[in-house]
Every structure is written in C-alpha cells, then in structure tokens.
Amino acid sequence: MCGIVGYIGKRDVQPILVNGLSKLEYRGYDSAGIAVLEPEGLGVRKAEGRLANLDGKLKTMPLKGTIGIGHTRWATHGGPSDANSHPHTDMSGAFSIVHNGIIENYLEIKEELAGKGVSFASETDTEAIVHLIADLYDGHLVSTVRRVIRKLQGAYSLGVITKHEPDKLVAVRQASPLVIGVGAGENFIASDISAILEHTKDVYILEDGDVATLTLDRIDIVKGDTGQAVDRKLHRIDWDEEQVQKGPYEHFMLKEIHEQPLTLRNTMAGRIDGGNRIVLPEIPLPEEELQKIEKMYIVACGTAYHAGLVGKFAIESLTRIPVEVDIASEFRYRDPIVSDNTLVIVVSQSGETADTIAALQESQRRGAKVLAITNVAGSTIARQADYVLATKAGPEIAVASTKAYTAQLLAFELLGLYFAQTLRTLDDETRSSLIDGVKQLPHQVEKLLANADEIKWFAESIRDRRSVFFIGRGLDYAVALEASLKLKEISYIHSEAYAAGELKHGSLALVEEGTPVIALVTHQQLFEKTVSNIKEAKARGARVMGVTVDGNVELLDSVDEACFIPRTHQLFAPILAVVPMQLLSYYTALALGNDIDKPRNLAKSVTVE
C-alpha cells in the first residue's frame, strides 16, 4: 500500500521523484524518502511523516543525479520512523531498494543473513531484501535480482539501483502494482500512473513475475523464473494531467464529489442505444449462458462492498437470480460454494485490491466465470477477469472514495438492466422507463451539488459529538453503511449504521439526549416503517436529520431537519442519497480541521492482505 516512483534519464532526478511522490502520497504517508545515484555513490534522504518533511530536508541537503528511486510509506512492518522509511540500503551503501507489499518469510531471511554477520538498521521486511541482493550479487544486477525473488514469499513490487551499475534501474512486480512509463531518452517506474502522467502517457503494465531493466533508451522485460524475454502491450493513457490536480477546489475529495455528474455520464456513455437498450459488448454473455447461472456472488472490500449491497438488490429485483454479497477478505477462507453455474462479480476501484484478487483467483479455480467492475484498465483484476465492466471514473486521488462509488452503483444498475434485457425478465415498457431514469441521474446529481452548502449547518452541529448513527431499510440501509464509513474515515467521529428495524433489538441503548441520528428514508414502500423507527429514536432524545425524496414533506413532522433529493425510481435513489452524505462527511472533517484527502492510518489502494 506504499507508493513507488523511479526515474532514469538525463534530467535532475530529485524534483521528478518528489513530484511523483506527491501524486502517490494517498497510497501512504507515514514517511517518505529518495535514493539518488550521485557521482560519488548512493545518496539517501528520508523522513518520518508527510512528504513535506522530506522536502524540507532536501532543501538543505539536496541530492544531485539523473537516476533515482522514491517511496512514500504506509507502515506494515515497523512503525513510522526515519529508520523504517524507504529506500533501504545494504551495509556497504552500494545497493538501494524501494518496496511495496509484504515479504512473508523475511524473518527466515534475516536469520540467515544475521548468521553471516549482516546487521539490520530497521524493523522492516524490506531491509532483508536489499541485504540479500548485496549477499548474492554476482556482478550482474538483473540476474542477482532474479535469484533473490526466487527466495521471496509474499506480494511485492521493487525498484532497485546500485552504484556498481549506474546505467540501469531494475523493477520487479509480484502481486503488487507497478507500471513503466516510456519517455524519449528517459524512462520511469511508478505504483500508479498518476505519478508519471505529466511526463508520459505511454506505459507498460507489468505482470506478476516480470523483471524489467530500464536504461536511458531501452526497456527489457523478462520472466523472473526463466529469464525469457516477454512482450507487454504499450498502453496509451487517456487521462489528462488536469484530472490529478485539485484545480479551484480546496481538496481532492470535494473536487471528486463535484465530478460525479461527469463520471456518471462517462460510465453510461455508449452503453445506452437509441432504442433505450443497454449495450455492453464487453460482456458477451448470451441468453443461454445466463440461463445456466444459478447464483451470483458479489465480492469486494470497503466502499466497493457497500456498492455490492446495492448491486445485489438491483440484480435480484430485475432478474430474480439470487445474489450473495461477501467481503473479499473472508470469501476464500470459508470454502465458498462456487461452480461453473456461478457468476462471481468482483468490484475494486484500483483493480489491485489484494483480497479481491485472491477471491477472483479462487473463484476461477473452482470453475466460475468472473466479471470485474473496476476503474483501472490494465489492472490485475481487469486482466485476470473473464469480463470487465469499466466504470470510467477517471483518477480518484482522495483516500475516501466518492465518485468511484457512484460509478460502481451505476455500473450495477446497467448490469442488472442488461441481464434483465437478455433474460427478458422485464417488459419493454418497464425497461425503457427505467433507462429513462438512469439518463436523468447526472442532471439530478448536479441539482444536489448546486445546493451543497445547505448541508454545512448540520455538519457544524455534529463536529463535537461523540457518536453518530445512520439508519435505513432496504437500499437505504446499504447507503447508511457507506455514509457511516465516509464520516468515520475522515472526521474520526465514531459512527455506526443500523438497519432501522434493528434499533429496538439493542442499538437503542446507545441513543441518549442529543445523539445525532441520520435517517435515510427514500424507499417509498418502507417509508412508514422507517418513520416508526425514527420516532423510537426521537423518544430517547435523538436529534434526527432525515434524507428523503422531494414531496415527502410529511417526514418533517418526525425529524428535526430534512434533506431532499430529486424523485427517482427506488433502484436509483442510492446514487442520489449518498451525495449529501458525502458532503456531510466532508464538511464535518473540514470543520474539525482534519487532513481530508489523507486521513490517518489509511491508504487508497489496499494491495496487501
């Protein structure tokens, strides 16, 4: 979950590395560091804390050279400290590496090296790798690295440089993302395309087991186990540099909330034809194949899991095929009942979520077809899945996901409608009416965002509260889970979401005078039931904010405040209802003065188990 960047070329490397790390800091920000091949040897600077601390050091002690590697860390082995920061070097200072991932057998390697007199300066698993490289070095960095990775167990991407071979940068990928950027007389490595986007849009996406050697004007990729040369497709990235800049917004999260109308338009673009039919050529599942599917699983983590809960409701109600939603980190460990009559849908914004990749692979091993909903073309999940539905949300920089979530919701709606259309479980009139509702969503989100400031007053009122509770029924409960997660992620206020009907089964004990309760009441069929639960909370002293659809003014009799969203079909209400919840989280964190884009202890892409 750390960020790696590397450069080899003719330009001064320090500003390139620091700027690249600034684009990767969302992946981890416990510490940062760079290593540069200077004329006299390897120079290393690193610092605990945010990138600004490293930048301060470099202003007084700059590094000069044209080859280097950089790293921003999310701590796994060893707490945040200068010593545990990357890059790590061997005892002689001749080799330096950066690493993203976890080495599971590092203690065995450390014990073996310690027996040879190697001393360790950090608590990290990474340091074992660089000492092993130094121990096995045979005069050829690439062959040495290939021998080293045969001894490693776990997930890792690596960038390696040495003063013994100052004309090359070696990169490795094994179950952890890494791309190579191709320039003119210069080349790059990075954990994420955003780090190098201003320099090049041409990238190779490394696959597991790849070992790449970069020089000024050449990139060679071989398989680590055999040394056999491999060809990787050169991808042209269609993201613009502006997409990874904040522009006029104070934070990336606010920018990305406001980008949601465009994201929704992009995700549906080309997928609805003139006859109001869903067109998904990337999912070639004919009726006879869909008829064989007895069950679907939706497997994901975090926000993507919450999107899956909405997806379950949409697919089941539109197709009547049973759907189970599971947390990816639990899925493969419970011996899931998966067969060739099962469709597994995995969801991941980055396409690199380690637990979700493992669930994908386990499902395919058991004979299931896997459909991926992801935002990153060329990611591991996109490459390994049988079918891919891209969300087209563009780069999402803030750790707390917003536009990627609503794009995932829309992808599920399109998918459910496509399955229903193929299986003919909807009549043409109903299907066309639903698709008309889908097409209205971007404009309806724009209307909500035009009144974004209206949510500030409630955010101000909860900033000092100890706990906040979200309640809802049906689809509203799924949205409540995501709303609660957003609030706790960036405000650090304790927050929980409950199925509203469960309040009386224990949770009401937590409600006291003044406790904030946010009640989502957009599901018309469950309106009266949820209002009854609101009154239960009010009777215990709760202060209730209701979120409902335009026209439901009777809710005002049961709540203290209300927020209204545009009227839509109940299947699509989550896409609208979550927007004021995202704004509530944002403005609460803003009122508390928190670092909104980089909340403590979290990282954007969880690429370790």
Q: Is the pLDDT of residue 488 over 80?
A: yes
Q: Packing angle between helix 403-423 and helix 428-450, nearest 10 degrees?
A: 170
pLDDT band for 396, please (50, 70, 90 cuts): confident
Cα distance between residue 479 and residue 459, in whole Å: 18
Task: Give me the residues paired with residue 114 across strands.
Answer: none
Q: Is the pLDDT of residue 264 over 80?
A: yes
Q: Is 369 known to be catalytic? A: no
Tens digits of per-residue pLDDT, 531-584? 888 988 888 888 999 999 999 999 899 999 999 999 999 999 999 999 999 999
Helix and strand numbers (H, E) in the chain are: 18, 24
CA neighbor of 134 nearest in space, from 158, 161, 111: 161
Q: 459 by DSSP, 3-state: which?
A: helix
The mean pLDDT value of the chain amounts to 92
Q: 297 by DSSP, 3-state: which?
A: strand
CA distances from 158 to 8, 155, 172, 573 (A): 15, 10, 5, 44
Tens digits of per-residue pLDDT, 333-387? 888 899 999 999 999 998 988 899 999 999 999 999 999 999 987 788 999 999 9
pLDDT band for 38, please (50, 70, 90 cuts): very high
Indicate the helix (H) or strand (E) that contains 19.
helix 13-24
Q: Is the pLDDT of residue 454 over 90?
A: no
Residue found under tokens 């229903």: 420
pLDDT at 524: 84
Strand duo 342-348 + 516-521: pairing: unpaired
Burial 188-214 (b: 16+ CB within 10 A, else e): bbbbbbbbbbebbbebbbbbbbbbbbb
pLDDT band for 609, please (50, 70, 90 cuts): low
pLDDT band for 241, please (50, 70, 90 cuts): low
Cα distance between residue 222 and residue 226, in whole Å: 8
pLDDT at 407: 97
Q: 394 by DSSP, 3-state: which?
A: coil
Catalytic residue among 2, 110, 301, 392: 2
What's the average model confidence in pLDDT over 184-197? 92
Q: Amino acid identity, residue 531?
A: V
Q: 214 by DSSP, 3-state: which?
A: strand
How buried is 524 (Cβ within 10 angstroms: 0-12 exposed, 13-18 middle, 19+ buried)? middle
Kindly state the tokens that stand for 39. 């004329």
Alpha helices in 65-140 (DSSP H): 106-114, 126-136
Q: 81 by DSSP, 3-state: which?
A: coil
Q: Is the pLDDT of residue 85 over 80?
A: yes
CB atoms within 10 A of CB 569: 14
pLDDT at 240: 64
CB 370 within 8 A of CB 385: yes
CA neighbor of 194 nearest in space, from 21, 390, 7, 377: 21
Cα distance between residue 70 and residue 51, in whole Å: 11
Cα distance between residue 349 and residue 453, in whole Å: 28
CB 65 within 8 A of CB 120: no
What's the average model confidence in pLDDT over 39-51? 93
The more confidently predicted of residues 465 and 372 is: 372
Mean pLDDT lowest among 76-85, 94-103, 326-335, 404-413: 76-85
CA neighbor of 220 nearest in space, from 208, 228, 212: 212
CA neighbor of 71 nearest in space, from 8, 148, 126: 126
Tens digits of per-residue pLDDT, 135-180? 999 999 999 999 999 999 988 999 999 999 999 999 999 978 899 9
pLDDT at 435: 96
Q: Is 2 known to be catalytic? A: yes
Residue 164 Cα to chain centre, angstroms: 38
Q: What is the DSSP letter of 462?
A: H
**Count of CA atoms in the C-beta half-sphere (13 A) of 108:** 6
